[in-house]
Amino acid sequence: MTNILVIEDEAGLRDLIRLWLERSGYACQTANNGRSGLRLFYDIRPELVLLDLALPEMDGWQVCERIREVSQVGLIILTARGEETDKVRGLQMGADDYITKPFGFPEMLARVEAVLRRTNATNHSGAISGNEVYRQGGLVLDSKAHHATLEGVDLKLTPTEYKLLAYLIQHSGQLLTHRQILHSVWGEAYIDDVDSLRIYIRNLRRKLETKDGPQYISTEHGLGYRFRKNPVNPSAAASSNED
């Protein structure tokens, strides 16, 4: 049974989330503050974490950072304000998705299922057809080990970042539209969420590219992205580094 950890300080909401998750067939553990939530995470090693940002003792940002230091578990942040800065910061810190309060529980379940599908696809299936190991310059992606390195250094990709990179590599040289990428990596329910895609592309570029310009991922403005078969010299790159 899939085990989900909910770290939320509001008792009523926490109990409702647990009720909906358990009724949907998940095992659920809960914590009411950041410090106890982190201890519980280390103890039970769940498959997914639902993490509120406004927590006592240790806030959600700190918990997210600690979790990402040791695990690429699926992680969904819960934010009350719904501010763009919170969403961007959460995704940049390695969250796989976000839910803005107040939210409907069917929406919550759909997002939980979507993140679990992406995480399981990353952990249990080869992402690149016909190639167990992809090498391009200093970039190595091992689809069997579900691991990526650059110049021998672990890229520390989240499950969603890994799946996005694998999909781009699988279609090297092709122009991929926003909708194609969102449908293939996130699923049908996310095909209009271009803002989140841009954040993830920025995250990948921050881990892959030099400060001089994009070597691997080029932007086709208004259309989508292209993963270059032959990484360019960043000083000679004509493309912008914008998303």
Which pLDDT tens digit goes with each residue over 37-83?
A: 999 999 999 999 999 998 998 999 999 999 988 888 999 999 876 66
Which residue is it, tokens 């810190």? 93
pLDDT surpassing 80 at residue 237: no
Q: Which CATH number is correct for 3-124, 3.90.1150.10, 3.30.930.10, 3.40.50.2300, 3.20.20.140? A: 3.40.50.2300
**For residue 121, what pLDDT is reported?**
62
What is the C-alpha to C-alpha distance for residues 40 and 35, in angstroms, rounded to an integer?
Answer: 9
Determine how β-strand 133-136 pairs with β-strand 224-227. unpaired
137 phi-psi bin (left φ>0, alpha ψ -120 to 50, beta other): left
Which CATH number describes the domain made up of 133-236?
Answer: 1.10.10.10
pTM of the model: 0.68
Structure tokens that stand for 137 in this block: 């310059």
User: Quick one: 192 exposed, middle or buried, by C-beta within 10 A (0-12, 13-18, 19+)?
Assistant: exposed
Mean pLDDT of 202-217: 81
Q: What are the structural domain ranges in the chain?
A: 3-124, 133-236
Distances (CA, A) of 224 to 195, 219, 230: 12, 6, 18
DSSP three-state, residue 121 = helix
